[in-house]
Amino acid sequence: DLGEEARRDMVISLEKLGFGIEASHHEVAPGQHEIDFRYSDALIAADRIMTLKLTGKTIALKHHLHVTFMPKPIFGISGSGMHTHLSLFKNDENIFYDPKGKYKLSKEALYFIGGLLKHAKGFTAITNPLVNSYKRLTPGYEAPVYIAWSERNRSPLVRVPAERGEGSRAELRSPDPSCNPYLAFAVILKAGIDGIVNKIDPGEPIGQNIYTMSEKEKTSLGIESLPDTLKKALNELEKDEVVKSGLTDHIFKNYIEAKREEWEIYRTQVHQWELDRYLTIY
């Protein structure tokens, strides 16, 4: 589509800025593109996300296009996520890898995943901060709404890619590109490290496609869902002391206040869908 040449120019510009681009391709939805860059420590990765956004918007304008990082700009097709790959290093060695461990993962890796799953509801208001974010987090569009983990299955919240060794990592699939990466990475790491400190068991990986499971099957496996509205996500954030501690009191209080106001403004608007649905009937 028209974005192909623009994306190529974005990649060239990012490489000139020192990015290690690992992949660049068209995604499943019309006009949807993905650029993956090489891992780094959390702060540098957050800086690069901001640089990538600014670069993308600038290059797009030169092609008479507009780049949006809105999670769900078009109804009926897949939204845009910001899948985040996570690993911990100690003395330049990936501590998530253990050739003798279960699934060739270390206990630290499994506990880290356990922390992500335990606090997923609590950090969702940060990783998915918009009213629109929850239009993406709905079943049916490959969105990761189910709190579980898997080795290869893409339907749960956390996936462990097949690569092992220095490439051992956990992929958190719920964040979207509208999030503040500095806040998002802070609460994600806080959740994972809490899992290590408190040895939180993530349970067994889910091999089945959760999207095709019945409610009874999901309940029997203890699979819960992420909040499905911003309001519910904010309620979960307020209850999660670990996630709150990753934000500091000042940021938490101001964030909650701003997002509660955003929800109320949205809630009281009359949307076009309502007019199309009801105006001529009643």
67, 89, 114: which is the final residue of a domain? 67
| Same domain as 157, residue 27 | no
Does residue 72 form part of some domain? no
What is the overall mean pLDDT for the chain?
95
pLDDT tens, position by position, 225-278: 999 999 999 999 999 999 999 999 999 999 999 999 999 999 999 999 999 999
| Same domain as 143, residue 36 | no
User: Which residue range(s) make up the domain with 8?
Assistant: 1-67
pLDDT tens, position by position, 200-223: 999 999 988 898 899 999 999 999
pLDDT of 95 = 94
pLDDT tens, position by position, 175-207: 999 999 999 999 999 999 999 999 999 999 998
| Same domain as 191, residue 269 | yes
pLDDT of 128 = 99
| Same domain as 271, residue 211 | yes
| Same domain as 193, residue 253 | yes
Q: What is the pTM of this model?
A: 0.95
| Same domain as 62, residue 145 | no
CB 141 within 8 A of CB 32: no
What is the average pLDDT across 100-124? 96
- For residue 162, is pLDDT > 90? no
C-alpha 249/C-alpha 42 separation (Å) is 21
CATH number of the domain bearing residue 100: 3.30.590.10
Does residue 128 form part of some domain? yes
pLDDT of 171 = 96
| Same domain as 18, residue 109 | no
| Same domain as 200, residue 95 | yes
| Same domain as 254, residue 154 | yes
Does residue 73 form part of some domain? no
Number of domains in the chain: 2
Phi then psi for 169, rounded to 5 degrees?
A: -165, 165
- For residue 44, is pLDDT > 80? yes
The 3-class secondary structure across 29-61, one letter per residue, is CCCCEEEEECCCCHHHHHHHHHHHHHHHHHHHH
48, 67, 86: which is the final residue of a domain? 67
- For residue 141, is pLDDT > 80? no
